[in-house]
Structure 1
Amino acid sequence: MANRPPSADRRSEILDAALACFLARGYAATSIADIRNRSAASTGSIYHFFGNKGSLALALVERAVGGWSGSSGDAANPDAVAELSIKASVAGLVRWGLANPASMRFLDEVRTLAASDTSLAEVSTLLARGHEAARARYAAFVAQGEVRDLPWPLAHALMLGPAYDFLRLATADVASDAADLLAIAAWNAVRAS
């Protein structure tokens, strides 16, 4: 009898297969059968780890957000000043996105879909919690006089919009200082005068 991979490895294999399927066919067009065929897992195994397709998407988003957070260093440090926090978050997104282009493409797609696809309600909730935490952090920076008092959607777009756009267009031959340049631009866009 062949050795089966540990559960964590099997779960990861299913997630990797789901990501590949979602990118190849799109989230909406991908079925559990597609994921089963790509992962060589049984349907029961997929449902053991993930209750449905939306749960697979949620796990991929959690993995992506964790990767971004892990690449962002001091961004989440509650004692970090605004400049350090904002620059670390943007640079972390860019570095993680360049290192994980498939996950970045999926995150970008699912952020849009989550607003209207009811199977992604948990993803929508997770993203909304993250946005609320970031909005509250920005409001604290406003109160401290570190950043301009801008409506949150505008501040968010100024800080992260260029990084997302860059990652949509980036190829393997990008400038090595792209993350730092985008981080500086994000800070300059919102810093207090």
Structure 2
Amino acid sequence: MNQFHILEKRFPGRRAALKRDILEQALYCFIELGVEATTIEAIKARCETSVGAIYHHFGNKQGILSALFFAAQDDQRQHLDRELANTNSLREAVYSVICSYLDWVVANPEWARFLYQARSAVAKGPFQEELKDRNAKGFRELKAKLLGFGNESNSIVQPFEIVISLIVGPSENYCKAWLAGRVQTSPRDYREEFAESAWRSLQR
């Protein structure tokens, strides 16, 4: 699994080694068993630590689930921010949103699969307000970026709340099919097609 760099960025240093190990093994459990079927006991068995240590670091299963979810979400958004920072036009920005998304999924398929599986549970759980705040912040930042290109931005369809779905929706649908094995061609191979489709979907 290609999850180590994400956990190390989120929980750096030797003192966080046990926390990273618990999260790593929990990620395996969530992917293999499913979010609902995974238990603290199953996580304990994989990481060979005590239940007390798990509760000490994360409180409960929802604490583990949200820690993993937010670590993945932050990494995905940081990747997007780096791509957007180098754009000089609205078209470039739209292309960056798509290419960043597809590249991240292909580079981190286990994390992407987990994000899709866990989103509903996090949205309904005790960390739902944090998730809403994070999503709202991400939406505001992307809106500001896309609307910050002067006259170019006047071409974006309205209302703006549908824009993200227009841009990312088809790519997300294909990525889900790829991760589930229903299609074989890597999403990265269709970067140009999805990016151009997203760009055209925004034109009024």
Q: Give the TM-score band, short-chain normalised.
A: 0.7 to 0.9
1:103 correspondence with 2:115:
no
1:119 correspondence with 2:126:
yes
- Distance 1:34-1:137 versus aligned 2 partners, 3 A rule: same
1:176 Cα deviation from its structure 2 partner? 4.8
1:9 correspondence with 2:21:
no
Give 2:29's aligned residue: 21
- Distance 1:152-1:16 versus aligned 2 partners, 3 A rule: farther
Measure, in 1, the Cα distance between the counterparts of 2:165 and 2:148: 18
SS in 2 for 1:149: coil
Letter in 2 for 1:16: E
Measure, in 1, the Cα distance between the counterparts of 2:166 and 2:60: 35
Measure, in 1, the Cα distance between the counterparts of 2:111 and 2:172: 13
**TM-score, normalised with respect to structure 1:** 0.78
Query: Do the aligned residues in 1 keep the contact of 2:29 with 2:38 (CA within 8 Å)?
Result: yes
Measure, in 2, the Cα distance between the counterparts of 1:124 and 1:38: 31
1:133 Cα deviation from its structure 2 partner? 3.1
Measure, in 1, the Cα distance between the counterparts of 2:88 and 2:17: 36
- Distance 1:75-1:85 versus aligned 2 partners, 3 A rule: farther
1:182 Cα deviation from its structure 2 partner? 1.8
1:174 correspondence with 2:181:
no
Q: Which moved more, 1:119-128 or 1:56-65?
A: 119-128
Aligned length: 186
Identity of aligned residues (%): 25
Give 2:171's aligned residue: 163
2:85 corresponds to which of 72, 77, 81: 77
1:68 Cα deviation from its structure 2 partner? 2.0
Give 1:184's aligned residue: 196
Measure, in 2, the Cα distance between the counterparts of 1:52 and 1:131: 29
SS in 2 for 1:23: helix
Measure, in 2, the Cα distance between the counterparts of 1:135 and 1:72: 13
2:62 corresponds to which of 51, 54, 63: 54
Measure, in 2, the Cα distance between the counterparts of 1:57 and 1:144: 43
Structure 2 residues without counterparts, runs of 5 or longer = 1-12
**TM-score, normalised with respect to structure 2:** 0.74
- Distance 1:120-1:96 versus aligned 2 partners, 3 A rule: same
Measure, in 2, the Cα distance between the counterparts of 1:36 and 1:68: 28
1:158 Cα deviation from its structure 2 partner? 1.0
Two-structure CA RMSD over aligned residues (Å)? 2.9
1:128 correspondence with 2:136:
yes
- The C-alpha deviation readout for 1:19-57, integer Å capped at 9, x for no partner, is 122223332332222221222222232233323322322
Measure, in 2, the Cα distance between the counterparts of 1:7 and 1:80: 42
